[in-house]
Amino acid sequence: MSGCPLCDPIWKTKHYETELGFVLCFDCGTCGIPMYVLKEHRPDFTDAEKDRIVEESRRMFAGDGATIWIRWVMRNHECRDHAHCHVEGAK
């Protein structure tokens, strides 16, 4: 969508290479926690997408036995058109 900051992001925070073609992964500009954002305009992830995000998050962010959990974020004012989640406890 034209003018949508998440469709054509300008990286203001650290971004991460992801093997998942349906999301972007970068540090949240508000809280600094890594987050996944759906590339398309859709308010929710599918169950299969959630499973793949959990798998990749464990591989990318749970080094040295760290415990991570995914906070599935409902719509908010910043990302209301894109499903997204935060990877809590990420190192």
What confidence tens digit (pLDDT) does each residue in 37-56 have?
A: 999 988 889 999 999 999 99
Whole-number Å distance between alpha carbons of 15 and 24: 8
With respect to residue 5, please indicate whether it lies within any of the assigned structural domains: no
Residue 53 CB partners (closer than 8 Å, separation 6+): 20, 23, 36, 45, 70, 85
With respect to residue 49, please indicate whether it lies within any of the assigned structural domains: yes
Question: Token pair of 69, please?
Answer: 């959990």
**pTM across the whole model:** 0.85
Q: Note the pLDDT of residue 89.
A: 87
With respect to residue 72, please indicate whether it lies within any of the assigned structural domains: yes
With respect to residue 3, please indicate whether it lies within any of the assigned structural domains: no
Report the DSSP pairing between strands 69-73 and 34-38: unpaired
- What percentage of the chain exceeds 90 in pLDDT? 42
Q: Note the pLDDT of residue 49.
A: 96
CA-wise closest residue to 20 among 63, 59, 42, 49: 49
With respect to residue 7, please indicate whether it lies within any of the assigned structural domains: no
User: Residues 35, 85: contact at Cβ < 8 Å?
Assistant: yes
Range of the domain at 48: 15-88
Q: How many domains, the chain?
A: 1
